[in-house]
Every structure is written in C-alpha cells, then in structure tokens.
Amino acid sequence: MREIRKSLRRDKRGFTGLEAAIVLTAFVVVAAVFSYMVLGAGFFSTEKAKAVVHTGVEQATSSVELAGDVIGYGNSDNSRLQNVTLYIQLTAGENPVDMGKLTITYADEYVYNSSLTAKGKDVALNGAGQWNYSVVKNATGNYPGDTDSMLEKNEKMKLFIMLPSDAGGVGNGGVAPNDWFQIELKPEQGGTLPVKKTVPGKVDDVMVLH
C-alpha cells in the first residue's frame, strides 16, 4: 500500500506555466480567426443589402420633376388640344440627366406611342408626335448653368411636344375636349415621371392644364 502511494506521488503531473500559455494562445488565435470570419460575413451582407436598397430607391424614384404648370395650345380652330409645353428639373439629390437619352411615351384613349420623335435641342418641329427641348434662362435673363444637353442642378428644361395623330387619322394630331392623355418622361436612369391631364370642355389658344 505504501509503495502504491509513492508511485502515485512520483507519476502525478500538471501543466507548467509555458504549456498553459501555449494552450491559451491557441484558444485566443482560434477565437480571433472565427470572429474575423463572422464579422467579415456580416459586413459583406450589410454592404450587399445597402447596395440593393440604394439601387431599388434609385430605380423607384424619379430623376426629374415638373417645375411649373403644364401649358396646352389649341389647334387652328380650337377644336382640339394640339401641343403641350412643360418644364422639368432634377429632383433633390439626383444625378444629371442626359436629355439626348430621354424617352417620351404618349397615350390617350385611342393612341399609344412608346417613343415620340426627339428632334433635339432647339430644333424646329414639323409634324405630329415630335418634341424638342431648350434650356430655360433665369430671372436675370442668363443661363443658370450651361447650355449643353445635360439637365443639371439648378437648371430647368422646357419641353415642347406636338401630340400624335389619333386613331381617326387627324393629320395635325391632338386630343378632343374632355378626353384624357398621358405623357411619360423616361430618363436613361431612375424612375419615370408620368403627367396625366384632361382636356377642358372648351379649348383655348393657350391654357393651363389641370
């Protein structure tokens, strides 16, 4: 019995300080690596979610907005609304819009046109279903920015649109009194701007459309 106790005392071993330090360091390194992987995956997921939300908002919100009334013009005998003028500007925080890549869609009770004919900046129109644009000067008679084709911050653009011919084949185009029509502006990027109006019962030479 005494020999067994002596043997147990001789074989009894424990961790030295160095061994404990090695094991502790190993645990710390493993935990650090695992934490880095978890945090990295979390940051990646957060950035992806942020990018998706940003893209969704950018596509859902319109890049342009109306900057004033929509003005209508009657034809020669004021039997129909023939032309429309509207003004647009950038919405807050949006990037410049290239007017050369703007698409205008038209629809009414009888007609749908997925892309009216763009004639360009200050180019004269000579037929139904065409449109042009020009840079609007400020109150002092000067251009607030430049005169290129980009709609930029603090700038306004004037759009002049000759409405398409209807299903009845009216050569000079136009919309009859009490009928509705919709113009939709589609920038290259960002959401669209729909403008829906109803022609009043009496068409004048010049009128504000409500």
Residue 21 has phi, psi (to 5 degrees) of -65, -40
Give the pLDDT of residue 159.
Answer: 98
pLDDT digits (tens, 9 = 90+) for 157-171: 999 999 997 644 445
pLDDT exceeding 70 applies to what percent of the chain?
77
Q: Which pLDDT score is estimated for 14?
A: 54
pLDDT at 181: 96
Residues 142, 85 contacting (CB under 8 angstroms): no
For residue 53, the model assigns a pLDDT of 44
pTM of the model: 0.69
pLDDT in tens, 81-138: 999 999 999 998 778 999 999 999 999 998 999 999 999 999 999 999 999 999 999 8
